[in-house]
A and B are shown apart, each in its own frame.
Chain A
Amino acid sequence: MRGTLTLEKAGFPTVAVVSTPGFTVSAKKTAVQFGMPNIPIVDYPWPGHIGGLSEDKVRELTDKIINGVIDGLTRPPAEGEKVAEKLPENIKVAAESYEKALEKMNQLFLNRHWSDGLPIIPPTEERIEWMLKGTDLQSDHEVAILEPRKGIATVKAIAINAVMAGCRPEYMPVLVAAVQAIADPAFGLKGPLTTTNAVSPIFVVNGPIRRQLNINSGIGCLGHGWRANYTIARAMKLITINLAGTWPGENQMAGFGKWNFYCVAEYEEENPWEPLHVELGYDRETNTVSVFPVTDLHIATTSEHEVKDPKAAMGEYATEGPEALLRALADNMAETGPLGSQAIFWGDVLWLLATNHVEVLAKAGYSKAQIKHFLYENSKVPFYKWKRGTYEFKEEDAVKAGINVSDPHFPCPVIGKPEDIYILVAGGLGDVHSAYFPTWAGFLSRRVTKEIKMPANWNEILERGQKEREE
C-alpha cells in the first residue's frame, strides 16, 4: 500500500486493487496513517487468496472490478473519511463490586482491542506510578515510534502495558530496550506484525540481569512458571497491539495469528563458547536484549552421541556420535525449510541448543563457527523439494542465487549464509531436545540487539523488588 500512497503523494492518480479480503481494512488504516484516508481502493471479488486460482478465473473476476478501477482514476475521491475520535486518556469503569468492575473493565478493553484476551491487571494511576519506579527515565521520554500505527512509545505508555501484562517494575529496563529493538529499522516491525506468515518475535536476554530478574534459561524456559519470562513477553505483545496498533484480521493478517511471543535468557553458565552478546562484541557484564523475527519453534531430539560400534557408518550415513548429532540437527533445518515458503528471502535463524548437545559438541572439539558451517552445508535440500516448498517461486531469483534450476537434485541452501545461524544455549541440564526457530523474510526483518541501559539507582530498585516479593 505504501507504494501506491507514495505515488499518490507524488501527484500520480492511483488505484489500489486489494486482491485478498481482509487486507482492505489494513490498506485503509495505512492510508489514514499516511494522511490520505480517501485514496481509491478497489476490493477484489474473491473471498480468499487468489494465488490458487486458474488464469481464466482471475480474468473472470478481474472483469468485475474494471468500472471501479476506471472510477478510481477519473472521479475525484469522496471527501475525507472521518478519522477516528481520539479516546480519552483515562477511563472510569463503575460497578457494584470490585470483581464486577474488573470483569467490566476487561471486557471493555477487549472490545476496544486493547487486550490480548487474557485478564489484565488494571492500569490504575497507583500501579503505573509503581511500575515507573523501575526506571530513572522521565515518564514522557519517547523511547520509539512503533509502526504501523506510528504509536509513540513513551516510558509511561510502556509502563501502562507492563502493568496490564503483570510485570514487575524491575523489568522496565528490559522492556525499554526491547521496544528500542523492535523499533529499529533493521527489524522492520510492520513486516513481522502484518504478514500472513506466522511470525512471532523471540526476545533473548544476556548479561547479569538474567539472574537479577530470575529470567529463566533452564528447564521450562519457554513455558510457564517464571514471571519475568511470561510477563515481559506478554507486555511486548500488548505493546504491539496497543502502541504499534495491530489486530488480527484488520491489519495483522497471519492466518494462525501471533500465538507466541517468547522471552528467554541464554544459559550462559552452560555455554562452553561465547554467549550471544559477547559474540556480537559486547562485554560479558553488559546486559542486552536481542529480538529475532522467527516462525515458531521446532524440536530436534537426538541422543545417540556415543560411537558404540567401531564399524558404525560415518559421514553422510552417520548414525552415532557427534557428527550424527550435527547431521540430525541439519536434517531438522532441511525438513523445516527456509520457512516452508519464500526461499531466497533467507533471514536469521535461531538454535537454542540443549545442554546435552552442547556438551557433546564442545567435547568433540567443535567451535560455534564450525557448527554453523556444518549446519549450513548439510541442511541443503534438492532443488525439486526446495521449489515445491516455496511460495511465490520465481526462477530468476533462484538463478540469481546460484541455483541450477535445470538440475532437480541441485543442493539448495535453506539459509543465506552460515553467519545467519545463531547458536545459543538453553533448556534443562542434560536435555537432549534442542529448539530450532526458522526464519521469515530476511530482506524485511533481521535480528536486532540493544544494550539494556541500567538506571542509576538499579541496586535500590532490585532491593525494593526483593523486599516486596518477600512480604
Chain B
Amino acid sequence: MQNLAVTLEVSNPTGNVVSAPFLKPAPRIADLNGKRIGLLWNFKKHGDLVLKRIAEALGERFKSLEFIKLPSGAKLPWGAYPDEKTIAEIAKNQGCDAIIGTIGD
C-alpha cells in the first residue's frame, strides 16, 4: 500500500465564467420547397464555392428554392468578415427563411 505522506492542495486556475442561459434552437423548416435561403460566407477562401455547390445541389432537389447571398453586415458586401451586430436585421429584411453559413479558415 502506498504511503501518501504529502498532499498538495492547489487552486483551480480557470475561475468562473459568465454563464449563458440555454437558448432553444430556432424551429426547423418542415418543407424546403419554395423557401428563401440566405448564404453567409465568412470571407475565407473557397467558402463561396462550397455555398455555390450547396445551392446548386439543393436547387436540384427542391422546387422554387431561392438563394440570396446574405451581406455580411450593414454596409458590408457578401463575403466580407461578418458583422454579427447587424446581420439578423439584414436577414429579416431580405426575407430569409433559413441560413447556411461557412465556418473555418
Contact = CB atoms under 8 A, between A and B. Distances in A.
A156 B16 CA distance: 11
B9 A91 contact: yes
Interface in B11-68: 11-18, 20-23, 25-32, 37-38, 40, 42-47, 49-51, 53-54, 57-58, 61
A37 B25 CA distance: 9
Contacts of A50: 45-46, 50, 104
Contacts of A5: 84
Interface string B62-98: 0000000000100001010110100110011000111
Nearest to B82: A3
A200 B99 CA distance: 34
Given A35-B23, A39-B25, A128-B11, A18 B88 contact: no
Given A35-B23, A66-B57, A80-B22, A151 B17 contact: yes
Contact of A123 (B13, B38, B40, B47): B13
B43 to A, nearest CB: 7
A149 B37 CA distance: 31
A371 interface: no
A88 B103 contact: no
A461 interface: no
**B8, B50, B92 pick with most chain A CB within 10 angstroms:** B8
Contacts of B47: 19
A157 B105 CA distance: 32
Nearest to A109: B13
**A16, A150, A253 pick with most chain B CB within 10 angstroms:** A16
A349 B27 CA distance: 47
Contacts of B45: 49-51, 391-392
Given A39-B25, A51-B44, A70-B58, A16 B103 contact: yes
Given A97-B6, A125-B9, A391-B45, A59 B53 contact: yes
B13 A238 contact: yes
Given A87-B14, A242-B14, A391-B45, A23 B9 contact: no
A220 interface: no
Task: State the main secondary structure of chain A at its contact with B.
Answer: mixed
B18 A150 contact: yes
B1 to A, nearest CB: 11
B50 A90 contact: no
Given A51-B44, A149-B17, A151-B16, A124 B8 contact: yes
A125 B11 contact: yes
Task: State the main secondary structure of chain B at its contact with A.
Answer: loop
A122 B8 contact: yes
Contacts, number: 264
A15 interface: yes
A18 B104 contact: yes
A314 interface: no
Contacts of A398: none
Q: Chain A interface residue count: which class?
A: 35 or more
B30 to A, nearest CB: 7
A377 to B, nearest CB: 28
A242 B49 contact: no
A91 B15 contact: no
B46 A58 contact: yes
B103 A17 contact: yes
B46 to A, nearest CB: 5
A44 B50 contact: yes
Interface string A204-221: 000000000000000000
B35 to A, nearest CB: 9
A312 B82 CA distance: 53
A196 interface: yes
Contacts of A392: 43-45
Contacts of B3: 96
Contacts of B100: 14-15, 17, 69, 73
B105 A196 contact: yes
Interface string A387-401: 000011010100000
A298 B99 CA distance: 43
B97 to A, nearest CB: 8
A68 B53 CA distance: 14
Given A3-B82, A6-B88, A7-B99, A152 B10 contact: no
A33 B10 contact: no
A10 B98 CA distance: 11
B23 to A, nearest CB: 4
B5 A97 contact: yes
A63 B53 contact: yes
A11 B58 contact: no
A2 B2 contact: no
- What are the 8 A-B residue pairs with the smallest beta carbon separation, nearest first? A35-B20, A20-B104, A51-B45, A10-B88, A157-B15, A19-B104, A3-B82, A62-B53
Given A92-B9, A122-B10, 13 more contacts: A3-B87, A15-B100, A15-B101, A18-B103, A19-B105, A66-B58, A93-B7, A97-B5, A98-B6, A123-B13, A150-B20, A157-B13, A245-B17
21 contacts: A3-B40, A3-B82, A3-B101, A6-B84, A7-B101, A11-B27, A16-B103, A17-B51, A50-B46, A58-B49, A59-B53, A62-B54, A73-B32, A75-B28, A87-B12, A88-B12, A89-B12, A95-B6, A96-B2, A123-B10, A196-B105
